Amino acid sequence: MSGVPCPICQTSSAECGGIVHNKPAMVAGVEIDLGDARFEMHSCPSCGLQFKHPFIPESQLIACYEQASGDHWEDSPDPYKRRFDDIERVINTHANGPKVLDIGCSNGALLGYMGQSWERSGIEPGQQAAQHAEQRGVRIIAPMLEQCETDERFDIILAIDVLEHLLDPSDFIERVRRLLTERGIFVGFTGDTDARSWKWHGSRYWYASLPEHQVFYNRATIDQLAQTHGFEVVHYERTSHARFKSTRRVRDNLRGAIWGLMMRLGMHKHASPPGWLPAKDHMLFAIKLR
Ligand SMILES: [Zn+2]
C-alpha cells in the first residue's frame, strides 16, 4: 500500500518491501504477539525516512519493557566496544558547556564513563535502570521526554539508540530544541539506511526485524530535520554499533552477503534475517542550534 504520509514531512510514501520480524518476536527479552498483520517498509521520497507500516502500537511495546528483567541490558558495557570514546570525542569537539542530558540513559553507563567534570542528567523510563543511573551520579529528571517539564536548559542533549523507536521524530527534535541553551548541540546515534549492508538486504535488514525499531534515517533525513528545527549539521559519520573482532566481522560479512544473494534469488521468503551487527550500518551525528 503506497501513499501513507511520512511521519516527518507528510509526503506520500512508497512501499519498498515486506518486513519479517524475528520469530518468536521479542522485545527486551519478552515475547510480543504481532498477530497476522503484514508489515511493510515505506520510504519517503522527500526526506528519505523509511518507516514501518503499520507501526507497532507503543502500548504493546511498553508492556514488554515493563515485564523485562532489570538485567536485560548489560550492566557495564565495555566502553571501547560500545564506542563511548567516539561519542565523547564528538561532544568534546562541539559542546559549549558542561550540562549534559542523556535521553534514554538506561543505567547511566555512558554518563558514568564521561565522569564528574560534566553536570549529568538523564531521562529514563525503566525504574531499575534509572535507580542504577542515580547510583552512578546521574540526576534523573523525567521518565520520558514528553513528561519533562523543566525550565532548565542543557548544553548537550544525547539520544543513543533512541531515534529508531520514535513515532514522531519531528516532535522529538522540537522538544530537544526547546531544552537546549544557545548554540547547544544534539548528538544522535541510530541506524543508517544508506549503509551498503542495509541496501543489500533492503526491507529485510536485521535492524528492521526488531519490533521496537520503527523508523529509519539516512543523511538526507538528518539534514531535513536539522534545517526544519533551526540546527546545522556539524558532525556525521557512518560507523558500526559496536566494535567487534575481525573474525566476527569476516563471518558476518560472508553470511550477510550470501543471505542477501539467496534472498534476491527468491529464497528466504518468510525467514527472519541473520544479524549483521559488525556492519557499518549506524550513524553518529551532531547538530548545533544556529
Ligand atoms: Zn518525509
| Domain total of the chain | 1
Q: Does residue 55 lie in a domain region?
A: no
* Distance from the alpha carbon of residue 126 to the mean position of ligand 1, in angstroms: 31
Other beta carbons within 10 Å of 172: 22
Query: Does the residue 278 lie in any domain?
Result: yes
Alpha-carbon distance of 127 to 129, in angstroms, equals 5
- Residue 7 Cα to ligand 1 midpoint, Å, equals 7
Closest of 78, 107, 29, 73 to residue 242, by C-alpha: 78
- Alpha carbon of 138 to ligand 1 centroid (Å): 35
Query: Would residue 239 count as lying in a domain?
Result: yes
Cα of 209 from ligand 1 centre, angstroms: 21
Residue owning grid cell 526491507: 203
- Ligand 1 centroid to Cα of residue 218, in Å, is 11
Q: What is the CATH number of the domain that holds 203?
A: 3.40.50.150
Centre of ligand 1 to C-alpha 130, Å, is 34
Q: Is position 31 within any domain?
A: no
CA of 214 to the centre of ligand 1 (A): 14
pLDDT digits (tens, 9 = 90+) for 99-156: 999 999 999 999 999 999 999 999 999 888 999 999 999 999 999 999 999 999 999 9
Q: Express each pLDDT in 36-84 by its tens digit.
A: 889 999 999 999 999 999 999 999 998 888 787 766 666 788 999 999 9
Residue 223 CB-half CA count within 13 A: 6
Element (H, E) at 140: strand 139-142
Tell how far the Cα of 217 is from the centroid of ligand 1, in angstroms: 10
Domain-located, residue 21? no
Structure-model confidence comparison of residues 271 and 73, the more confident one: 271
In a domain, 92, yes or no: yes
Residues of the domain holding 99:
71-289
Distance 30 CA to ligand 1 centre (A): 32
